[in-house]
Structure 1
């Protein structure tokens, strides 16, 4: 029986036999030993055995045995930089993003499992600050910067991250006063079904931008998630163009986020009936069904109804969470914490 089939059976069992109390099939995180105290906000699982994480002090780790052993494979010249996102295609190929004003925002690529890295982009604009990177397919990728001259800036690649070019701002709607994206868990910019989305906060409304043409033109919609100086949507996940999840809150007050989770059905964003209630920096779908996970510094939550209701199942701290298409789910965060999800 495949992992996806096992997961589907377990999720269905939880839904039918008492999801509210997790009376059957309780999810739990199984922590591994990474041998470091770096904070990993970048996370890229490939499957049940292969995963990459990227974080502070230029640290990138890779496992090929399901998290039992981790190898340090970061670029030798990046020790002073902070990785916030990583996208992996397989056990050998990955693209990683560092953040910061000006030249601290960079992109690196490897095709040999991290034995060597090539710096493929270095930001020279002091007004730009890159937050997240995503790939629509193996060749076409996008990176997102906070607004420059009143508009969010998009960087694009058509060769798997080997070269990058800034997209024209003509197709980008104007940013709100104070609006920006959050480089918190590598999922402020995401892709699915050939489309790309990014989320914002900081301004008068938390908004979601969408592109169907590789980042050349964008539409934007407001959401009911509260926005403020340090509040808004921190993470997105899309199953397809009409099924999306958004989580966030305010990292300055992580213990409270009364409307910090919303779901998309069609074109309308709706606040969850039962929200996590606290700041969440990462969200991911579990395979192709209605199950999803959300994580933050105060805990992890599960939904089995597409984001309408959430239930806490763990109180440990994580920043990022991601599941593969086959249902292998991983989480990462502070103090070198990396874990795999299992169903007890």
Structure 2
């Protein structure tokens, strides 16, 4: 099962034309992606949007890039000797401080941290358990963060930090519900785990007979789990969660082996994840989607991306319209600042900013 997942996560897609399908007029602003050439051929599934000027990407070949001028130039700040690591997530607090996650079984799962804009990196966690496989991480604030591993001994495993990623410890699984047979998380965009205000965090799964969403409100000590009506299977489930406050969230996914199809591929909750309502297939994103994010200062606007294109929803995830057919794996919007600052990243070094 893990081999199948690893194959899927490593899969690339051919670059397709972009900016050919406009967002539907009358529903909201017309968005498009403005590419910011990186000069890289890595696949960037890790993405951190700090502001309209500052962003970080992390991906294959152990490569990490940073921009501080809105994508006009990208600086290679890759950790020394990391060329064999596969970065799948990165979280950044500003232009200087960032925490990156590499994935894989055993010691391939690592966390690295920089406090000087990537000039130097410190490895702050190396997974000693050959069974554990870390997928994604996120922070509630500049100090408190969690990282998620696939099940070990029948339960998902959580790493925690209270000092901005300098030190990590494995949490007890006493408050974690049992995993389903074959259940795991997708390391596709860094958004299988998302952290909210306070000590809130959510993570999503697939692989089993049904996808599920786990929620915690005490920093991962105790979790509740809810079934989702979305499709699941060996290559299907929930790939990304987007939160808007403590109650409203959107889940997107599908089957990565069928990137142009969207069957039971999106759902919405309005009650903090207690119940989920399936988005009808004719209103869902146009294909499998691996990343999603709410657009700041818009209230209800959500963007989702995947290998076959990008979609926008102006009503909080209930209906979607494709506005781009280029390939992206991840999308993230800056949480602070008055300007809309959403970035996307993906295959062949593609990184772009969302513009109107």
Contact 1:75 1:116 in 2 (8 A): yes
Does 1:269 pair with 2:276? yes
Does 1:296 pair with 2:301? no
Residues of 1 paired with 2:70 and 2:89: CA distance? 20
Report deviation, 1:252: 1.0
Identify unmatched segments of 5+ residues in structure 1.
1-17
Report deviation, 1:22: 5.5
Deviations 1:230-285 (A, max 9, x none): 10000001111210010000111111122101111113211124101310000000
Deviates more, 1:286-295 or 1:304-313: 286-295
The DSSP-based 3-state class of the residue aligned with 1:103 is: helix
C-alpha root-mean-square deviation of aligned residues, in Å? 1.3
Runs of 4+ in 1 over 6 A off after TM superposition: none
Contact 1:45 1:52 in 2 (8 A): yes
Does 1:311 pair with 2:332? no
The DSSP-based 3-state class of the residue aligned with 1:237 is: strand
Does 1:180 pair with 2:181? no
Residues of 2 paired with 1:114 and 1:93: CA distance? 8
Report deviation, 1:21: 3.6
How many corresponding residue pairs? 326
The DSSP-based 3-state class of the residue aligned with 2:326 is: coil
Identify unmatched segments of 5+ residues in structure 2.
1-21
Change (3 A) 1:131 1:76: same
Residues of 2 paired with 1:331 and 1:32: CA distance? 10
Map 1:177-256 → 2, pairs under 5 A = 177-194=181-198, 195-256=200-261
The DSSP-based 3-state class of the residue aligned with 1:179 is: coil
Contact 2:302 2:312 in 1 (8 A): yes
Report deviation, 1:25: 3.3
Map 1:145-164 → 2, pairs under 5 A = 145-164=149-168
Contact 1:283 1:292 in 2 (8 A): yes
The DSSP-based 3-state class of the residue aligned with 1:238 is: strand
The DSSP-based 3-state class of the residue aligned with 2:184 is: coil
Does 1:65 pair with 2:69? yes
Deviates more, 1:179-188 or 1:269-278: 269-278
Contact 1:302 1:311 in 2 (8 A): yes
Residues of 2 paired with 1:200 and 1:306: CA distance? 21
Residues of 2 paired with 1:64 and 1:241: CA distance? 31
- Equivalent of 1:333 in 346, 349, 352: 346
Contact 1:258 1:277 in 2 (8 A): no
Change (3 A) 1:177 1:342: same
Q: TM-score, with normalisation over the residues of structure 2?
A: 0.90
Q: With a CA cutoff of 8 Å and minimum separation of 6, indicate the structure with the bigger relative contact order.
A: 2
Contact 2:34 2:353 in 1 (8 A): yes
- Equivalent of 2:34 in 16, 30, 34: 30
Residues of 1 paired with 2:168 and 2:68: CA distance? 29
Report deviation, 1:19: 7.3
Contact 2:53 2:69 in 1 (8 A): yes
Contact 2:23 2:312 in 1 (8 A): no
Contact 1:259 1:277 in 2 (8 A): no
2:12 maps to none
Residues of 1 paired with 2:117 and 2:222: CA distance? 34
Deviations 1:123-155 (A, max 9, x none): 010000000010011101000000000000000
Deviations 1:199-239 (A, max 9, x none): 00000110000000001110000011100001000000111
- Larger strand proportion, structure 1 or 2? 1
Does 1:136 pair with 2:143? no
